[in-house]
Chains A and B, each alone.
Chain A
Amino acid sequence: MTLGVAWALDWMRGAAARVEHHKDELVELDRQIGDGDHGANLARGLATVVARLEELSSPPALVSDVLRVAATTVMSTVGGASGPLYGTAFLRAARVTARPELDPQGLVAMLEACVDGAHQRGGAVVGDKTMVDALAPAAEAAARAAGEGADVVGVLRAASLAARAGAESTAGLTAVKGRASYLGERSVGVADPGAVSSALVVEAAYEAAAAAMRRAA
């Protein structure tokens, strides 16, 4: 089985719903170590992505068509660092997904492109207490699973679990990037809201894949 445009659309809807559902939790994390607007901003941005995808005059033909709409929309609708960071991650992902269907290797390439985008835009590496702490382990786990012969659902399940574990690991880290870095040691004990929202988005990709698998069965 491969994952195509229908999955990508489902992914975006699921990501918007998940972030909306966890909005208050993200706001609370961001209130403690940031400026307190991450959950609300990202929820609004992803809701706008879904609305724009529904308004498209012709249905997207390629996975990259969906991701490009996501990129440009979050860039324009999410103020602060999250918009450019998520936007660049989606834009990089779009560059490597100009195909109607993605196989396990295609998903790995997409996740790796997301990591590259977030790293390039914000300069963060693993351990800096940012979204990279969720995305980088997700891409690594996906590559490992694909190497072991996992199918698309297995690849995204591995990515999803690793993203969640990575996001949770940020609670123990000291922020060195962004607004939270001004808190220094005081940022320890609170998970990074960007890492947590990234995990939600990766989890949504897995959920959409699992749903596609159930439909196909």
Chain B
Amino acid sequence: MTARVAIVLVAHASALAHGAREVAGQMAAGVDIEAVGGFVVDGVETLGTDVDGVRAAVEGLLARGRDVVVLGDLGSAVITAELVVDLLERGDAARVRVAHGPFVEGAVAAGVAAAGGAGLEEVAEVVRRAAEQWDSPPAEQAAQPADGATRVVLGNTTGLHARPAAVLATLVAGLDAEVLVNGAPADSIFELMKLGIAGGEEIELRVTGERADEARATVTAAIESGLGER
């Protein structure tokens, strides 16, 4: 399945754009991510941003029916992206958001959100919030009484690192329920990774919402099975 929101990563160096694409792509199966980095002068790549390159990437994705979230690595990349949006037809411009946020964390968060079926505004919002993820204090709910919590053992050996965290966050993002893992929102890959849960560790799971029972069963099964790893 292909996500309806695609991502364009604009950086001052090709290696930076493509590296971020690789990292984000690891956790965003089915999401179109385009990397546009550097600026070619007389056939030689220099550090800079490329209006025509960004425009081609955005227009190509729009033509394929995607909505597009654009991230920039520095101010001039954001300025470049905003210029490209201004150059689009009005109807097309409405399907593009330039999201201000940290480049790599934002790209990963956007990829995970898009893979989970999030819409344009939602994906742009997770980019904006990506920096806060590092600042927020350790989830306080973890210290609260465990009433109504389910205990599940993480069924892999390497723990809740980036890849399984992405699998879980993507799964939860697609569910019609609120899921907390050790008190942290399970639709956030960053919150999950910060928990530092080891393989085989017992996890406290809280699920609320209209379809909580169904969601709890789905998430429990996924965690116990190791989130795609053994």
**Complex alpha-carbon distance, A181 and B80, angstroms:** 18
A65-84 with Cβ < 8 A to chain B: 75-76, 79-81, 83-84
List the count of A-B residue pairs having beta carbons below 8 Å apart: 52
What is the interface size of chain A, counting residues whose CB is below 8 A from a CB of the partner?
19
B47-105 with Cβ < 8 A to chain A: 47-52, 74-76, 79-80, 82-83, 86
Q: Chain A residue with minimal CB distance to B39?
A: A79
Residue-wise, chain B 32-48 has the 8 Å CB interface mask toward A (1 for contact) of: 00000001010000111
Select which of A35, A81, A87, A121 is within 8 A of B47 by beta carbon.
Answer: A35
Residue-wise, chain B 87-125 has the 8 Å CB interface mask toward A (1 for contact) of: 000000000000000000000000000000000000000
Q: How far, in Å, is B56 (CB) from chain A's closest CB?
A: 11
Select which of A41, A44, A84, A178 is within 8 A of B80 by beta carbon.
Answer: A84
User: Residues of A contacting B52 with CB < 8 Å?
Assistant: 75-76
Question: Does A21 make an interface contact (CB < 8 A)?
Answer: no
Question: Does A122 make an interface contact (CB < 8 A)?
Answer: yes
Cβ-defined contact, B51 with A76, below 8 A: yes
User: Residues of B contacting A179 with CB < 8 Å?
Assistant: 74-76
User: Residues of B contacting A174 with CB < 8 Å?
Assistant: none
A171-185 with Cβ < 8 A to chain B: 177-179
If over half of A's interface residues share one DSSP class (helix, strand or loop), that class is named, otherwise mixed; here it is: helix
Q: How far, in Å, is B53 (CB) from chain A's closest CB?
A: 10
**Complex alpha-carbon distance, A178 and B79, angstroms:** 10
Cβ-defined contact, A84 with B79, below 8 A: yes
Cβ-defined contact, A83 with B51, below 8 A: yes
Cβ-defined contact, B48 with A79, below 8 A: yes
Taking A121-B82, A121-B83 as contacts, is the C-beta distance between A80 and B51 under 8 angstroms?
Answer: no
Taking A41-B48, A75-B51, A88-B83 as contacts, is the C-beta distance between A81 and B41 under 8 angstroms?
Answer: no
Taking A44-B41, A178-B75 as contacts, is the C-beta distance between A80 and B83 under 8 angstroms?
Answer: no
Q: Chain A residue with minimal CB distance to B76?
A: A81
Question: Does A85 make an interface contact (CB < 8 A)?
Answer: yes
User: Residues of A contacting B79 with CB < 8 Å?
Assistant: 81, 84-85, 121-122
Question: Does A116 make an interface contact (CB < 8 A)?
Answer: no
Question: Does A192 make an interface contact (CB < 8 A)?
Answer: no
Taking A177-B75, A178-B76 as contacts, is the C-beta distance between A79 and B83 under 8 angstroms?
Answer: no
Given contacts A75-B52, A84-B51, A84-B79, 12 further A-B contacts (CB under 8 A): A37-B46, A37-B48, A41-B48, A79-B39, A79-B49, A80-B39, A83-B80, A84-B82, A84-B83, A85-B79, A178-B76, A179-B76
Q: Could you list 15 examples of A-B contacts with CB < 8 Å?
A: A37-B47, A37-B48, A41-B48, A75-B52, A80-B48, A81-B80, A84-B51, A84-B80, A84-B82, A87-B83, A88-B86, A122-B79, A177-B75, A178-B76, A179-B74
Q: Please list the residues of chain B having a beta carbon within 8 angstroms of any beta carbon in chain A.
A: 12, 39, 41, 46-52, 74-76, 79-80, 82-83, 86
Closest 5 CB pairs of A and B: A79-B48, A79-B39, A81-B76, A84-B83, A80-B76
